[in-house]
Structure 1
Amino acid sequence: MFKVLRRIISLLLLVFIGYQTYVIHENVHTVLQYKSMVEEVLDNNDTQANVELVLAMIYTETKGGEVDVMQSSESSDGVANSITDSQTSIKQGVTLLSKNLALADKAKVDVWTAVQAYNFGTAYIDYVAKNGGTNTIELAKAYSRDVVAPSLGNTTGETYFYRHPIALLSGGKLYRNGGNIYYSQEVHFNLFLIEIMSAF
């Protein structure tokens, strides 16, 4: 009986892993459809950003499944989902990322601080510069709790469960209205996913 149960569990686990691999593969190839558009936008910008980083951010933001693929509307006019075409979304997203990368370089902080600032806002770059110069989950958590969340109404430190493997390794919680503490780590991981899955 135990052997049968173990086999059923193993089979279900294999099916689940297979399905998740298929979904990731499909999402990666959806994102890769924007590669030529990203290359064109980058060619018209003086930026430290590269194609792979922007594609990883698209994967992190929407997996290419929404018109505002880089979720850059709010940085443009303060209104969510106001951008109605992918090219404008990428142009605005690259503009913001390029600004963050230039500020990070000037402040002598790491590139991943600039990426995290895409989610938290540009002021995060100065915060990291004053606190060691390197983006970490601990710094992102403190900034989310003490700056971002209170500025958007969460003055009690309320949290919620965030279902993402990277988050689960560090407690799996985010501060409500506090942005994504794990954003830069997710982008970093998604760089790897795209590299692996684009080969198939």
Structure 2
Amino acid sequence: MQGVLKKSIKAAGTFAILKNPLTWILAGLLLLLTSLFGIALFISIGLGGVNQFESGMSREGADGTAQVSAEVMRYESLVQKYAKEYGISDYVGLIMALIQQETGGRQLDVMQASESVGLPPGTITDPEYSIQIGVKYFAGMMKQAKGDIPLALQGYNLGNGFIAYALERGGYSKDVTIEFSKMMAAKLRWNRYGDVNYVEHVLRYFNPENGSAMVKGDGTQSFDVEEVHSIMKQFLGQPYVWGGRTPAAGGFDCSGLLEYAFAQVGVDLYGTAKSQYDKTIPVPEDQIKPGDLVFFSTYKKGASHVGMYVGEGKFINANSSSGTTYSSVEEWKNLYPFLGFRRIQ
């Protein structure tokens, strides 16, 4: 993903307004209405009404597509407006994915931008103002990170001090992120500082436009790779559900995601990760291609986790820490015993 993916505005006006007691009352009423709306939407989703990610495809220029909720999609025009103003129009989809991770569009401080201007979290009660500040801040992160999106995203979460820290240590990496987080937590005497998995949490909602090439099959698999991948992508961001094997479960487990997606194209992958391992044949790592399955042993001996390889060292999978997402094969190799790649005959 890194190969593909290469806050300060005056708040005096907002702060002064918040000192007015009447404004606080009105803001409280607005928050109540917003909460009631959110509950109504949740009930609608639960009853099979509006799908959480209905109309959730947002793309601008050379950006990509963001799989986001309808609550986030309503802010797309504002994101486009300020992305253009601050010179990052090519990143509208990515910003939409960031909003999905920050608030899911369900809070007035849409981009959690208050802290970037020295205010307590959630102080901003004007969604447009939050987006203006947040987009400007992210534009600054992108500039400081020299266009490195993972570095800019993690900087948005940890503060721009992280970017300078990371650049002095060779750039963005998970190890540098954890190191900085621990350092800041100790300095501030907090239990934790930021989200060290922020990059992955945002990118699970985003697929770069030119990243589509890495998931294109070469026509030699026994099924349509693009079609299976397209089915799986519908569920990006959904939570991990043990035993989840259909969309009705509200999420999937690893083998359930593959079982469901492949069933839609007539391929029988019924069963657990171990069953799917046994139904496939081994492939040498130097011969792998999109559509091959990748297996790990995560909690017991033998195959207990599976995903589908999509190219560029990534695989799509449902896992207990991130739900349905893209993961790095190499990172997983460092975490769990690797059982290899296998192919459907």
> Identity of counterpart residues, as a percentage?
28
Residue 185 of structure 2 corresponds to: 149
CA contact (8 A) 1:56 1:187 kept: yes
TM-superposed CA distance for 1:32, in Å, is 0.9
Query: Residues 137 and 34 of structure 1: is their aligned pair in 2 closer, same or farther, counting only changes over 3 Å?
Result: same
* Partner Cα separation in structure 1 for residue 120 and residue 169 of structure 2: 31
Residue 196 of structure 2 corresponds to: 181
TM-score w.r.t. length of structure 1? 0.68
Cα shift readout 1:61-85 (whole Å, capped 9, x = no counterpart):
0000000010000112332211111
CA contact (8 A) 2:82 2:136 kept: no
**120, 132, 135: which one aligns with 1:79:** 120
1:120 and 2:119 matched:
no
CA contact (8 A) 1:60 1:186 kept: yes
Unaligned runs of 5+ in 1: 1-17, 155-175
Cα shift readout 1:132-160 (whole Å, capped 9, x = no counterpart):
22x222221111112x2123213xxxxxx
Query: Residues 30 and 23 of structure 1: is their aligned pair in 2 closer, same or farther, counting only changes over 3 Å?
Result: same
Unaligned runs of 5+ in 2: 1-44, 55-67, 208-229, 236-345
Higher-Rg structure is 2
Tell me the number of residue pairs that the alignment of Structure 1 and Structure 2 aligns: 152
Letter in 2 for 1:190: Y
TM-score w.r.t. length of structure 2? 0.41
Letter in 1 for 2:204: F
Matches within 5 A, 1:85-104: 85-104=126-145
- More helix, by proportion: 1
CA contact (8 A) 1:120 1:180 kept: yes
User: More relative contact order in 1 or in 2 (CA 8 Å, sep 6+)?
Assistant: 1
CA contact (8 A) 1:57 1:187 kept: yes
Query: Residues 43 and 116 of structure 1: is their aligned pair in 2 closer, same or farther, counting only changes over 3 Å?
Result: same
TM-superposed CA distance for 1:25, in Å, is 2.3
TM-superposed CA distance for 1:24, in Å, is 4.4
* Partner Cα separation in structure 1 for residue 143 and residue 166 of structure 2: 15
1:129 and 2:167 matched:
yes
1:140 and 2:177 matched:
yes
CA contact (8 A) 2:53 2:69 kept: yes
- More strand, by proportion: 2
